[in-house]
Structure 1
């Protein structure tokens, strides 16, 4: 099997995928091919649990892999809300109609013993050569039958793993998929864990054929979700795309984040109110408590603190940022982790309401009014990620900067956009500090003066030793004295870190 490919071969694959609407994912496909190769070499089974948020492209990635793998496969997608009897009946029908069984007539029409019999039927028709079995939306199967996880483990240990089988387990409920392979669960230690992230900014640029600045805007709008990118015509500027979508209330840019919110938090409970408070711009524990409490009063700390931990550490819907310096700092700031959902809660939901009322012009005007200020803050995590990647690759002056964050005090005066250090949240060394100006005006001498005044308050920043970095959408102004600046980046440099 060919894993190493030269540039010409990669280019030909890229063109074929772009024509079919599938872009990027070279690393992910290579990881799956590696495991299929292991199955072929050892003639035993390998299981992989793939998790990621809705519309991130899990099913499409695995389908692309199955289509190109050159081995028989069976792809089963569970249906939410059906009974175990209906799910098993569907499983057997689709197994019989797939290209997996050597003899489809050996697949029974029913499984009187439930999932144990269904998995036994699967094992009986597996070929002796390598094959792939995909169970998509696995959390729905566990939801329908509490014993499903244990049955799957037993079937894997006693039947399926003895065959040259690659078992792919997919799910959009990130917490439930994490629990599937947790130490206290039946499938612990039996599957490789694979987190499918959204497309990175470079892949978004490849999909849409945009320049660097527009690519970064497109990534912020879509969150790198293929489900939205497929509706975005190539070489269409971000504002032009939004203008077109405002005339279509059913557009994915509105529908996908709305569906994600409803799927993860179907009832307007306290968790939903907290997410909406964070999405509307509340960043601190105190302001979130006040906003999420509404007319009922402030949410008690004893309720809010564990809820924020669950939303950040289990659900991964919210990100918690701590000030980065050589001293412990407060407060922790919260944000919606996914930029598309963050944009929906802050801007697109109101835009969508106008679009549904048949007012596309007013909808677009509202987006334009809110876009610039929202983008200026939303781009910060992406730029920090870019600087971390650049430091790891040695393409910036601070290769030992393993983490890049920000710093602020309790008064948020000053608030520093960029801090590069050796560890977080309490560093032993600050390598650089910097400022982000993501506006249509260049970074000028007034901005530099403000940065120099701010870094004097940053614990661990040593003038003459720690560096200064500037990241600007519109570059550096003609009046800027760059003698004391170690790094000036624009959109092209930010985007280049993803290759």
Structure 2
């Protein structure tokens, strides 16, 4: 399969290769996001040395695996070394015989760092004593365990401190890349179906690889998520164990955020879930964010202590809401539920997340991509004088304009009725009164198929965006 999208990453790789300076490149991202495929395809599988860590293996097995790769690559018959210092010394000896550019790729690096293995000591020796002085040498290391990649490697406080020259996080596909990926498989969904798939599995290439030609998005979701042999029916239980040490605690924290409505402040977690206020909580929130399960943002007009953490992994949300307690599978189970109120509520929230993840394209559609802006949301609790109000998405612009977004997911053009028009007016008034903003406030409607044309469609709406705008140009 050809390499789809990834323009930013490919440009970065090309930039690294154009220089003759040695490079130590740390690549990380969510499990199944396509890190290994990207690196292998970009370099056409041409490496001076390649190896990968083994999941759930001990030091002896990891060293044996490393030695097998050494012998296969260089035509040697090395015996398995007793430690990582010796293993990397063997690698150094063989690489030193190579003239010209030298690309090394070590995949699933965190798995090599087994308990009391001193793996990082060996890696430190290899880089600091030799590799960092070799012109044209490029060391690419990769891992799904983002917490380890960041805490143990990128932020290493020992001999590898500040040695990583490039840090690249591989993000899921955008909607546009997802469309290109499906088209490359001969799957010609309309954009509504693509958005529906995205709301379930996000832009994770390995998940999208399961989508079958000739079936609708809804049929594919049922087969992949609810059939006993479907990949996503059982994927969740492997997700955390492969990424984190003490993975149960990360999963428990994520579940508590889900129980609080899929979004919570640190204060909410401490008060309502009796989570201990400690550096460990902060660390786990940061690790979940770096691993792609959470995203954080500052609500409009608040300070950093009010940071909101929201579950941003589409599959996790769908699994916890529908798959986990789905029971024995029966044909047509999901298809029969597509009009349920629970499904409609989920779809509305998931579509909001899709919009948040494509703010760059929203700004482009509004013609404000060149204007500095900050993205947030806003919520006002009900009080004795007025009801509550919420703004799904806010773009606060440096040119003294605030775009307030009303996001609606529907199967038809969205109709603004007289009552809904009044609701929108009250919401804008509440925002202005509560925040005391002096900026101009523009209302943007962002819907799947745009607005139904009537007398209210342009009454106070400044911009009418559709899901097509999320795909970009």
TM-score by length of structure 2 reads 0.84
Map 1:47-446 → 2, pairs under 5 A: 47-67=24-44, 71-98=46-73, 101=74, 104-105=75-76, 108-112=78-82, 114-126=83-95, 127-163=98-134, 164-179=136-151, 180-182=153-155, 184-191=157-164, 192-209=166-183, 210-234=189-213, 236-245=215-224, 248-264=227-243, 269=248, 271-280=250-259, 281=261, 283-284=263-264, 299-300=273-274, 303=276, 309-316=282-289, 317-325=293-301, 333-351=308-326, 354=327, 357-366=328-337, 369=340, 370-391=342-363, 393=364, 395-396=366-367, 399-400=370-371, 402-411=373-382, 413-422=388-397, 431-441=402-412, 442-445=414-417, 446=419
CA 1:328–1:299: 2 relative to 1, 3 Å = closer
Q: Which runs of 5+ in 1 are unaligned?
A: 1-15, 291-297
Where do 4+ consecutive residues of structure 1 move more than 6 Å? Answer: 265-268
- Which of the pair is proportionally richer in helix? 1
TM-score by length of structure 1 reads 0.80
Matched, 1:24 2:5: yes
Residue aligning to 1:469: 444
Deviation at 1:447, TM superposition (A): 3.1
Q: Which runs of 5+ in 2 are unaligned?
A: 184-188
> Per-residue CA shift, 1:389-425, capped at 9, x if unaligned?
443x5843585352222110234810111211148xx
Q: Answer yes or no: is the 8 Å Cα contact 1:48–1:167 preserved in 2.
A: yes
Deviation at 1:235, TM superposition (A): 6.6
CA separation in 2, counterparts of 1:89 and 1:449?
70
CA separation in 2, counterparts of 1:366 and 1:416?
28
Deviation at 1:488, TM superposition (A): 0.6
CA separation in 1, counterparts of 2:430 and 2:280?
33
CA 1:88–1:329: 2 relative to 1, 3 Å = closer
Q: 1:486 aligns with which of 459, 462, 465?
A: 462
CA separation in 2, counterparts of 1:330 and 1:129?
52
Q: Answer yes or no: is the 8 Å Cα contact 1:50–1:196 preserved in 2.
A: yes
Q: Answer yes or no: is the 8 Å Cα contact 2:262–2:311 preserved in 1.
A: no
Secondary structure at the aligned position of 1:347 is classed as helix
CA 1:463–1:190: 2 relative to 1, 3 Å = closer
Deviation at 1:261, TM superposition (A): 3.5
Secondary structure at the aligned position of 1:456 is classed as helix
Superposed CA RMSD in Å reads 3.1
Q: Answer yes or no: is the 8 Å Cα contact 1:432–1:467 preserved in 2.
A: yes
- Count, aligned residues: 448
Q: Answer yes or no: is the 8 Å Cα contact 1:440–1:474 preserved in 2.
A: yes
Deviation at 1:219, TM superposition (A): 1.8
